[in-house]
Amino acid sequence: MDDNFKNITILGVGLIGGSLGLALKKHKFSGTIMGLGRRLSTLEIALEKGAVDRITLDFAEAIESADIVVISTPVELIAPMAEQVAKYAQDGCIITDVGSVKRMPISSIESFLPENVHFVGAHPMAGSEKSSVVAARADLFENALCILTPTEKTDPKALKMIESLWRNVGANVTVMSPTEHDFLIAAASHLPHLTACLLAQTVGDIRNRAGNALDFTATGFADTTRIAAGSPEIWKGIFMQNADMLIPMVEKLMEKLEAFKKILANKDESRLEKILTQAKKVRDSINR
């Protein structure tokens, strides 16, 4: 990382924010990492784990000397937090985020950001169903994809610096527009999470005299619904902010479910096998 950047503030030291702090230290970042948040108890855990060097509840203290501020909050809070950060940011400060939706927060941020403060949207594609700093890991971003989402207003030097930040913690960086990001991630991340939630809810509702269906589930159900254990607070905001991209994905899935229902009703073994074979081929192509 550039020697001019010595002070990084992480606003929201949960799983992602805490893991970033640990990863920076693992990869020999020599500067100071400040943890900023709402709960002193969470910040103290982050400090004890070594994810940050200093902690504070005070915005001014955390931001005034920061070269980079990483906002790691639920997506609906990214723009409001960026507005608060901008009030205290020094000239040349770079604000970035880790959010799963880009168009709405970036559009809002660019409407109020002063010229001497920069914003670069970022989305590391790493995490788990756990959201606490207790689950933070130094290797969370190793070989993970990190998507940067610049606009025509993004400062090129700031973009390069945030790219360097993520490459330095082991991530593979790719660049696309906020709209391209929200479309692809609606399919690659948001739809699978929604599907897992609805599957868990559906099976949880099914029972007969012999018992509840949930009591007879095994590893297959656990594997396919693991992400449904994610934070409802976080995912509510994601679904709402990317609803216009997610709705067409839901409609596409509903079309496939209707087609599958007809195949079963018609006892069409040939088409059934074709669908299962195609699905297996897609899953086998994923090397993770």
Last residue of a domain, one of 118, 147, 176: 176
Last residue of a domain, one of 141, 176, 211: 176
| Residue 157 and residue 65 in one domain | yes
Question: Residue 5 — pLDDT band, cuts 50, 70, 90?
Answer: confident
Which three-class secondary structure state does DSSP give residue 274?
Answer: helix
Mean pLDDT of 194-208: 98
> What pLDDT sits at residue 128?
73
Structure-token pair, residue 253 = 């899935």
* Residue 55 belongs to domain spanning: 7-176
| Residue 209 and residue 75 in one domain | no
Distance CA 108, CA 100 (A): 15
Whether residue 195 is contained in a domain is answered as yes
Whether residue 2 is contained in a domain is answered as no
| Residue 131 and residue 220 in one domain | no
Average pLDDT, the chain: 96
Whether residue 1 is contained in a domain is answered as no
| Residue 137 and residue 245 in one domain | no
Whether residue 214 is contained in a domain is answered as yes
CATH number for the domain harbouring residue 164: 3.40.50.720
Last residue of a domain, one of 126, 147, 176: 176
Query: What ranges in 50-154 are assigned the alpha helix state H?
Result: 59-63, 75-88, 103-112
Distance CA 134, CA 136 (A): 6
| Residue 13 and residue 99 in one domain | yes
**237-254 pLDDT, tens per residue?**
999 999 999 999 999 999
Residue that wins the pLDDT comparison between 3 and 156? 156
Q: Is a pLDDT exceeding 60 seen at residue 1?
A: no
Sort strands 54-56 and 68-71 into parallel, antiparallel or unpaired. Answer: unpaired
Whether residue 40 is contained in a domain is answered as yes
Into how many domains does the chain fold? 2
| Residue 52 and residue 189 in one domain | no
Mean pLDDT of 179-205: 98
> What pLDDT sits at residue 127?
76
**75-118 pLDDT, tens per residue?**
999 999 999 999 999 999 999 999 999 999 999 999 999 999 99
Beta-strand runs (E) in the chain? 7-11, 32-36, 54-56, 68-71, 94-97, 118-120, 122-124, 145-148, 172-175, 207-208, 211-212
**105-164 pLDDT, tens per residue?**
999 999 999 999 999 999 999 977 776 899 999 999 999 999 999 999 999 999 999 999
Mean pLDDT of 205-226: 97
CATH number for the domain harbouring residue 197: 1.10.3660.10
pTM value? 0.93
| Residue 146 and residue 225 in one domain | no
**32-52 pLDDT, tens per residue?**
999 999 999 999 999 999 999
Mean pLDDT of 199-208: 98
**Close Cβ partners of 268 (under 8 Å, ≥ 6 residues apart):** 262
